[in-house]
Structure 1
Amino acid sequence: MPLRPRYGDLLLIVLIILPLLVALPRLGGLGGPPELWLTWVGRVAGILGLAMMLLAAAVSIRLPGTDRWFGGLARLWRLHHWLGFTAFILVMVHVLALGLAAVPASLDAAVATLFPPLSHGATWLGWLAWLAMVIFLAPTFDFFGQPHYQRWKRLHLVSAVALLLGLGHALLLAGESALWWLLGLAGIGAIVWRKLVSPRVARHPYRVEAVERLARGVVELVLRPEGRPMAYEAGQFVYLTPLDERLSAGRGEEHPYTIASAPSDSRLRIGIKDLGDASHALQTVEPETRILIEGPYGEFYGRHFPERDQLWIGGGIGITPFVGGARDIAERGLTDGRVHLFYLANSPERAYYREELERIAAGHESFAFSQHYSRERGRLDEAYLREHCPDFTEREIYVCGPPAMNAHLKQLLAGQGIPASRIHSEVFDFL
């Protein structure tokens, strides 16, 4: 079956190309001496680079539901990074090509082109925009290790400065400004929404009703809505912001967590493993603490094919989307096909939801449950899968777990001839 088209991708392509199409009549052609086509290349690279910068900001708006136009928030995050990085490369090509175009005249002319008198404000706005981009993007290249999550998010304010300066550079030089104003408002508006408006109006207030300890370093928060509960689907995730002043870390910080409850549950349940300062602090959060929830996001089960049975493989805290899916089956039953869940853990005591999943499997013929413990059997292999689920290569497959587990499973499944289009997973790195 072909992949479902992602209409957001098509929209991005149109918006990237549109400023270039508008400007092309003024840019001339590629013929003539080298200085002319280098000038053409430089201007085209600059137009495409700025368009990508503004669109990278625009797609960061993170409105619940719109991420599904792009295949979920995890994929949209990758598009955001690809747009930003490609924009930076194009800006470098823009500068280099325009400088080289002036070299045939003289080296002094090339230097003057790139570094004119200060009265040439448009050019210097461009240089300031480039400098802001370097400051913003440098941590993402991991020169000094992976940046701190919250500092990295605050650093996005520097990207707003780069956008404003780059937009000023374009407006002073462009013959047609309406389209740049439109893209500029989209990019800057998205940042204003994300940083100033969304935290105040787009979050759902909840209270911690209970903290259920599942294992050492793992809890499930049971959250009670203060007002109208948030609607969501199984497998989606949210950003959780705790407001408890007694927390040792993470107060007022947003972090993504997968929903573990069924959509019909009157309470929102979120499994949290001690994996960092913020998640460590939440292990001891007090009941009645106020929590803000933003979302839902993602489409983990969004690509559903009724003609195929499903194989779910979860490990570590990555079991939570499957717990939500299993609880949904327990509430509503399964309308089509069969599901087989493999729970991967080091040992039975680290299989946090094992007993509940066994009960669900016992009560629903269409839901099968298998457990695999690496201390007993090593890594999951093809023989174990085939022993417990003989038709696994014919199923739609959903994978969620630690990065090493995901990589091993994707390699294992691909080795069995299963196409990548039937293997689905989501990763939360720096969402």
Structure 2
Amino acid sequence: MSLTSTAQRAPSSARFVTLGRRLRGPVAMGALCITPMLLWALAQPLSTRWTDPSVTLTNIAVLLALAGTSSFALNLVLGARLRVVERFFGGLDRMYGVHKMNGRVTFCLLLGHAVLITASRAVVSGASAAALFTGKAGWVVSFGVLALGFMTVAIVFTLYGRLNHEWFIYVQRSFGFIFLLAGLHVFMTSGTKASSPALTYYLAALSLAGLAAFAYRSLLGDVFIPRLRYNVLQVTELGDHSVREITMVPDGRRLSFTPGQFVFVTFGSSAMSKEFHALTLKPAGESEVMTFRPGAVANQYHPFSITSASSEPELRIAVKAVGDYTSALHWLEGGAEARIEGPYGAFSHLRIPNRRQVWLAGGIGITPFLSMARSLDAPGYLIDLYYGIEHDDQGYFLDELFAIGDRYTGLRVIPWRRDEQGFITADAVGRISGPIEEPDFLICGPPAMIDNLTRQLRAAGVTDSRIHFEKFGFA
């Protein structure tokens, strides 16, 4: 087929506009965290803040606490998956990336606060410093010590524990209760807040927003979060039997979505429940020692890409068996209830003005592109879809994609077998698809694939405004 370009060149400012959209979330969070520090600085003359080493250390510690408390509250807001916040950050993957980084920053700020407070007391006497951790300093201090201790444990489990999805969710939910302890410490501690109503009101508003977001998502989600009910119509095993496409029909209102988006799903499956117990111990040497099992734990929503066309009456998702829950879907039966939350994500060919596009998929990363391909109907698109697979059994949906390419002449499907051709590279794409400066590139696959291709495309002169990808993960 002809690959004559119809690319609409973006203006030179497009890269900066895209960069601005990507940075506006982190910049806004930084401003919200700096604000209480400015209010603190305006509350009293700065000359009184640095009169001796103990006072100096205490005041620096207070600044860290103000920023840390603010960033902690904001992380609870990010964790609530509010649609308006997701759009502000440019997609759930970017929002969760900021959430992960901000969690680490929050911990460092609060740990720094504890270290400097201890040092400020040690300057006076060792006994004064020890009193902070023995309960002799009072309950107000103990609330802060307990909060930091629990936070340390939760951070270690999150970053270094081999947690399955269920355990990960429970650890994340613990942060709301940890923040409550930290809030008691903050607001019961005397200090600048007494002379600065603005600082008190600001911290109170931010803290209430964080606690409200935590309650909305983790405690009252079944009441307030809009979810749609579907029923499982069919479960189809594909390829090497590790991937299943689940077809569902609406029980009421139908989900409206843009091709490329994903949803969070939980299944009410009696067959899954019979196969799994609430708590299972595994022998040494396996990946998990203890795990809650799907079907026995209610209200666990897992993210899956939509594979159906946006015009279809049914909703389809594709699932690869890589963990407890996805493996358990082997027992999912027709007629089981599904609850759907979403859609989420900003990864779609329809959001890109340039109709000359290259789609790069790796493994199960084909799923958002499948929805896009099934939805193709507008004229003018010239798309090359590179589908990276390990071997022929993993070419899920390949026959259907070829059939779509036969009907829609603007789509060319290019299978890429890693065992024969190696990894997909920007150089290879340039040789096959023509000048690399013309198309927009959409990438979905393993994180290493996304990182490598993004780096290669940038090195080849492709601007960030023409590289689109979606990384997803909870950790």
Within the alignment, does 1:99 sit opposite 2:118 as a pair? yes
Is the Cα contact below 8 Å between 2:381 and 2:411 reproduced in 1? Answer: no
Match among 368, 373, 378 for residue 412 of structure 2: 368
Residue pair 2:349, 2:372 contacting (<8 A) in 1 also = no
Is the contact between residue 78 and residue 85 of structure 2 (CA under 8 Å) also seen in structure 1?
no
> 1:380 aligns to what SS in structure 2?
coil
Looking at structure 1, the residues matched to 319 and 309 of structure 2 have their Cα atoms a distance apart, in angstroms, of 17
Q: Separation in 2 of the partners of 1:291 and 1:104? A: 60
Partner of 2:232: 208
Question: Out of 378, 382, 389, which is 1:333 matched to?
Answer: 378
Q: Which amino acid aligns with 2:17?
A: L
Q: 1:381 — aligned with what?
A: 425
Q: 1:216-295, aligned counterparts within 5 Å?
A: 216-247=241-272, 248=275, 249-251=293-295, 252=298, 253-295=300-342
* Residues 41-50 or 18-27, more deviating: 18-27
Structure-2 change in CA distance of 1:27 and 1:116 (3 Å):
farther
Deviation at 1:115, TM superposition (A): 4.5
Q: Specify which of 76, 83, 87 is matched with residue 95 of structure 2.
A: 76
How far is 1:400 from its partner?
0.9
What letter corresponds to residue 231 of structure 1 in structure 2?
S
CA contact (8 A) 1:15 1:51 kept: yes
Report deviation, 1:154: 0.9
Partner residue, 2:8: none
Structure 1 Cα separation of the partners of residues 230 and 85 of structure 2 = 23
Aligned mate of 2:219, from 196, 199, 210: 196
**Aligned twin of 1:131:** 149
The alpha-carbon distance between structure 1 residues 279 and 115, as it changes in their structure 2 partners (threshold 3 A), is closer
Per-residue deviation at 1:187?
1.2
The residue type equivalent to 1:178 in the other structure is: Y
Query: Aligned partners of 2:175 and 2:304: how far apart in 1?
Result: 26
Q: Residues 232-272 of structure 1: CA distance to partner in whole angstroms, max 9, x if unpaired?
A: 11111111101102114522332111111122211111011
SS at match of 2:462: coil
Give me the TM-score of the superposition, normalised by structure 1: 0.91
Where relative contact order (Cα < 8 A, 6+ residues apart) is larger, the structure is 2
Q: Tell me how many residue pairs correspond in the alignment.
A: 425
1:36 pairs with 2:59: no
Alpha-carbon distance change, 210 to 299 in structure 1, aligned in 2, over 3 angstroms = same
In 1, Cα distance between equivalents of 2:446 and 2:159: 22
Q: Secondary structure at the match of 1:295?
A: strand
What is the alpha-carbon distance in structure 1 between the residues aligned to residue 181 and residue 221 of structure 2?
24
Rounded Cα–Cα distance in structure 2 between residues aligned with 1:321 and 1:257:
10
The 1:10/1:384 distance shift into structure 2, 3 A limit, reads: closer
**Whole-angstrom CA distance in 1 between matches of 2:52 and 2:177:** 37
Cα drift, residue 419 of structure 1: 3.7
Distance 1:96-1:119 versus aligned 2 partners, 3 A rule: closer
Kindly report the root-mean-square deviation, in angstroms, between the aligned alpha carbons of the 2 structures: 2.4
Residue 175 of structure 2 aligns with which residue?
Answer: 159
| Alpha-carbon contact 2:356-2:383 (below 8 Å) kept | yes
Displacement after TM superposition at 1:200 (Å): 4.3
Deviation of 1:35 after TM superposition, in Å, equals 3.1
Distance between the aligned counterparts of 2:204 and 2:327, measured in 1?
Answer: 44
Post-superposition offset of 1:393: 4.0
* 4+ residue segments displaced more than 6 Å: none
1:396 maps to which of 432, 436, 440: 440
- Give 1:188's aligned amino acid: L
1:155 alignment partner, SS class = helix
User: d(CA) in 2 for partners of 1:272 and 1:115?
Assistant: 49
Residue aligning to 1:347: 391
Do residues 180 (structure 1) and 203 (structure 2) align?
A: yes
**Distance across 2 between alignment mates of 1:269 and 1:214:** 14
Superposition pairs of residues 5-16 of structure 1, within 5 angstroms: 5-6=20-21, 7-16=24-33
Q: Following the alignment from structure 2 to structure 1, what is the Cα–Cα distance between the partners of residues 153 and 122?
A: 29
Matched to 2:203, the amino acid is W
Pairs within 5 Å for 1:285-324:
285-301=332-348, 304-307=351-354, 309-324=356-371
Aligned equivalents of 1:229, 1:131: Cα separation in 2: 46
Cα gap change, 1:382 to 1:307, in 2 (>3 Å): closer
Distance in 2 between residues matched to 1:360 and 1:303, nearest whole Å: 17
How far apart, CA to CA, are the structure 2 residues paired with 1:277 and 1:103?
Answer: 49
Counterpart-to-counterpart distance in 1, 2:136 and 2:123: 24
Overall identity of the aligned pairs, in %: 28
The answer on whether the counterparts of 1:410 and 1:423 sit within 8 Å (CA) in structure 2 is yes
Cα separation, partners in 2 of 1:105 and 1:263, compared to 1, 3 Å: same
Deviations 1:295-320 (A, max 9, x none): 11111128944246211001211100
- 23, 26, 39: which one aligns with 2:40: 23
Which segment drifts farther, 216-225 or 64-73?
A: 64-73
What's the secondary structure of 2:270's corresponding residue? coil
Unaligned runs of 5+ in 2: 1-13, 276-292
Q: Distance in 2 between matches of 1:42 and 1:28?
A: 17
Give TM-score scaled by structure 2 length.
Answer: 0.83
Structure 1 stretch 410-419 or stretch 224-233: which is displaced more?
Answer: 410-419
* Superimposed CA distance per residue, residues 198-239 of structure 1 (whole angstroms, 9 cap, x where no aligned partner): 234522111111112222221211110101011111111111
Amino acid of the residue matched to residue 221 of structure 1?
I
- My pick for the range that moved more, 381-390 or 339-348, is 381-390
Change (3 A) 1:124 1:388: same
The residue aligned with 2:400 is: 356
For the residues of structure 2 that align with 1:26 and 1:390, how far apart are their CA atoms? 62
User: Tell me, what secondary structure is at the counterpart of 1:261?
Assistant: coil
- Determine the C-alpha separation between the residues in 2 that align with 1:109 and 1:74: 46
Q: Which residue of 1 aligns with 2:288?
A: none
Q: Which amino acid aligns with 1:327?
A: R
Matched residue, 2:17: 3
List per-residue Cα deviations over 1:180-211 (Å, max 9, x = no partner): 22222211111211123223452211111111
Mapped contact 2:426–2:453 kept (Cα < 8 A): no
